């Protein structure tokens, strides 16, 4: 979300975890569950993540998914010593995916900041990136993209410009929740089509759409930034 190229991957992880997304393309892994007929039902939650950024102090990221009648709201906030960011999306779940009605975001870095808003007109065709992250987690839970990877997700950035994200499924992996429960996390590897050397490996909760169990940012195959779930509360 920040405009400074040096910090873009880290700040994007802070504010939306989808911007500088992004080894050669590998063959699809066959050890996966069959696709679901319907995605899992969302549940409101509050989550805290630890964010490790190469060259920066560690940060905490808060993530809240809440329900307001037929609408859902996803919000992320984070701050470290010199930077902070927040992002909020309001959307409804339709058969074709999330339908977004409003989006807002803001950041500050070294005393310089900005804020952005998108309304229904800007979001009529494509979701914002918070809603896109939610949709990506649902696709992972559905076993999406097994037959002909990579697949593509289209969304708009904080200024309403179209972005594209290519992704492919990875084999599930055992992850432990903060309460000690062990589950099989659904995983995707994602990248921007014009920056294939930059990759994000997402680990999602298979039954809680939108919840991240972990994200690892890799550049030229080497991990540089990492986000890990630290606390989780189901609010309904």
Q: How many domains does the chain have?
A: 1
Per-residue confidence (pLDDT) for residue 94, from 0 to 100: 82
| Percent of the chain surpassing pLDDT 90 | 58
Per-residue confidence (pLDDT) for residue 4, from 0 to 100: 35
Per-residue confidence (pLDDT) for residue 1, from 0 to 100: 33
* 173 bridge partner residues: 185
Per-residue confidence (pLDDT) for residue 80, from 0 to 100: 78
Cβ atoms of residues 225 and 51 within 8 Å: yes
User: Mean pLDDT in the chain?
Assistant: 82
**139 lies in which domain range?**
5-234
Q: What is the CATH number of the domain that holds 116?
A: 2.50.20
Per-residue confidence (pLDDT) for residue 79, from 0 to 100: 81
The model's pLDDT over 122-173, given as tens digits with 9 standing for 90+, comes to 999 999 999 999 999 998 888 878 888 899 999 999 999 999 999 999 999 9
Intervals of the chain under pLDDT 50: 1-36
* Entry pTM: 0.81
Q: 16-47 b/e with 16+ CB inside 10 Å = b?
A: bbbbbbbeeeeebeeeeeeeeeebeebbbbeb
Per-residue confidence (pLDDT) for residue 37, from 0 to 100: 53
Measured CA to CA, the distance from residue 167 to residue 25 in angstroms comes to 10
């Amino acid at each position: 979300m920040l405009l400074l190229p040096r910090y873009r991957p880290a700040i994007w992880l802070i504010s939306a975890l989808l911007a500088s997304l992004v080894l050669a393309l590998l063959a699809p892994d066959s050890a996966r569950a069959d696709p679901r007929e319907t995605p899992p039902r969302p549940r409101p939650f509050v989550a805290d993540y630890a964010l490790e950024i190469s060259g920066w102090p560690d940060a905490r990221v808060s993530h809240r998914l809440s329900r307001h009648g037929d609408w859902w709201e996803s919000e992320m906030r984070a701050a470290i010593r010199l930077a902070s960011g927040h992002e909020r999306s309001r959307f409804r779940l339709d058969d074709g995916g999330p339908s977004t009605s409003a989006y807002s975001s803001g950041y500050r870095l070294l005393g310089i900041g900005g804020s952005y808003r998108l309304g229904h007109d800007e979001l009529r065709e494509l979701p914002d990136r918070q809603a896109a992250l939610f949709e990506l987690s649902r696709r992972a839970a559905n076993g999406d993209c097994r037959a002909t990877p990579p697949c593509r997700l289209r969304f708009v950035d904080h200024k309403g410009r179209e972005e594209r994200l290519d992704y492919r499924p990875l084999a599930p992996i055992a992850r432990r929740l903060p309460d000690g429960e062990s589950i099989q996390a659904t995983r995707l590897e994602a990248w921007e089509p014009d920056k294939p050397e930059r990759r994000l490996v997402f680990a999602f909760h298979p039954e809680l759409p939108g919840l991240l169990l972990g994200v690892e940012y890799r550049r030229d195959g080497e991990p540089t930034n990492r986000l890990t779930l630290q606390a989780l509360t189901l609010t309904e």
